[in-house]
Amino acid sequence: MAQRIGILSTYPSTQCGIATFCEALADQLVEDGAEVGVVRLVDAPEPLRPPVVHQWLPGGDAAAVAAVLDTYDVVVVQHEYGIFGGPDGQDVLDVVARLRVPVITVTHTVLTDPTLNQRRVLARLVDHSDAVVTMTRTAKDRLVAGWRVDPRRVSVIPHGAVDNRSASGARAGRPVVLTWGLLSEGKGIEWALHALADLRDRTELPRYRVVGQTHPRVREREGEAYREGLVELTRRLGLTDSVEFDARYLSGPELREVVRHADVVLLPYDSLEQVTSGVLTEAVAAGKPVISTRFPHAVELLADGAGALVPRRDPAALADALEHVLTGPGVAGRMAAASRSAAATLLWPAVSRAYLDLAASLVSVSSLVRADVRSAV
C-alpha cells in the first residue's frame, strides 16, 4: 500500500526556498510511489492544484488544517520562523498540537542564539514531533546541545538537488562566476564586487553573474534599494563590463541551465548561522567548484575539497580565492571532481528514500502503540 504523506509548507507559486524545496520533495515522493497532499501556507486564496489539497491563510482555522493533515499516515512540517503566522511563526503550534498521526519536523533554521520566543516555539514544536530532520550534522548538534533533543530522534537528511552534472572541460571565452538566489542584504554581493575590483590588477576579470529577483518580503519593505545600491557600486568600481545583474525568478530548468554554464559558484554570504543552503547543495550537485564564506553548511559540505572557504566580509580573501581557483593549474578541476563525487548522496531519489524510510518506521511504531492500547482495553 502506498504511503500517504501530508506536508505543511509554503509551495509554488510562492517564491521562496522552502516552497521550491517542498515542490521538489513532493514530486520525488510521488515518483517513488507515495500519495502526497500539501497544505499550503498562503497570503491569499489561489486555485487548488495537486498536490495542494488545502490552504492555510493568516489567522485561518488551525483545527481545519489539522483535520486535513490527520487524514494522512504521517505529516511532514517544513519549519522556518518566517513562514508561519504569529510572533516567530508560533501559529504552527496550534496545528501540531492537534495532530494524531506521527509528525516529522524538518528544521530549515537552527539558531545558536535564539530569542526566548524563538527557543520556545522550536522547543514546543520538537516536543510535538515524533522525529526531527536536519539537513546537516551542524544543525543536529545544535539541537542536541542547545535544545537538549535526544539525538536518536534526529535524522540528518541532505537538502536534495536535481542531478545537474555535465561533462567537465574548459570552455572558450571568459570564465563565468555565478551567484544566484533571492536577493537581500546579507547575501554579501557587495564584498564580491570589491573583490573583483581587487582582482582586476592581477588577472583578466571573469564575467560575474548575479541571478535572481529581490526577495518578495524584502521588496515589500524596501523596494529594490539593495539591488540598486549594488548596481551603483558596480558603476563606481568600474565593473560594468564584467558584472551582469539578472533580476528574473527562473524556473528550475532555466536555473539549472544557468548553473551548468558557470565555471565557479560564489557564495559571499554574511551569515554565520546558515545551517542549510539550497544554493550550495545545487552547486555541488552540479559538480561546480565553490568559493564560499564560512557559514556552517559550507564548512561541512565543502570539507572534502569541493570548494574554498574564506572569511565573511573580506574582499581581499575573496579575490585571493578567485585568483587561485580561476588561474591555479588544475585547481578548478580538482574541486569539480570532488563536487561530482559528493553529488550522488545529495540527489532527490536518495533524499526521498530517506524520508520514506523514516515515515515508514514512525507509522510502524504508531501502529504497534495503537495495537497495545486496544489489547489493554
CATH number at residue 198: 3.40.50.2000
167 within a domain of the structure (yes/no): no
In this prediction the pTM is: 0.89
Cβ(38)–Cβ(13) below 8 Å: no
On whether both 306 and 258 belong to a single domain, the answer is yes
Distances (CA, A) of 335 to 195, 229, 330, 346: 21, 33, 9, 17
The answer as to whether 166 is a domain residue is no
pLDDT at res. 252: 84
pLDDT at 372: 41
Domain that holds residue 40: 4-160+347-376
Strand runs labelled E in 150-280? 154-156, 176-180, 207-211, 243-246, 264-267
**Confidence at residue 165, expressed as pLDDT on a 0 to 100 scale:** 84
What pLDDT, on the 0 to 100 scale, is given for residue 144?
A: 96
Do both 220 and 312 map to the same domain? Answer: yes
Q: Are residues 36 and 22 both part of a single domain?
A: yes
Q: Is residue 370 part of a domain?
A: yes
Shared domain for 63 and 207, answered yes or no, is no
Q: Do both 201 and 92 map to the same domain?
A: no
pLDDT score, position 171? 64
The DSSP element (H or E) to which 293 belongs, if any, is strand 290-293
Same domain, 56 and 75: yes
Q: Which residues of the chain have pLDDT under 50?
A: 368-377
Same-domain check for residues 127 and 194: no
Judge if 288 and 224 occupy the same domain: yes
Q: Judging by beta carbons within 10 Å of its beta carbon (0-12, 13-18, 19+), is residue 366 exposed, middle or buried?
A: middle
Residues 119 and 258 in one domain: no
Check residue 259 and give its pLDDT: 95
Query: Distance between CA atoms of 189 and 366, rounded to whole angstroms?
Result: 48
Q: Is residue 171 part of a domain?
A: no
Residues 116, 63, single domain; the answer is: yes
Q: How many residues does the chain have?
A: 377
Q: Residue 310: inside a domain, yes or no?
A: yes
Provide the number of structural domains found in the chain.
2
Domain contains 52 = yes
pLDDT of residue 154: 97
199 plus 308 within the same structural domain = yes
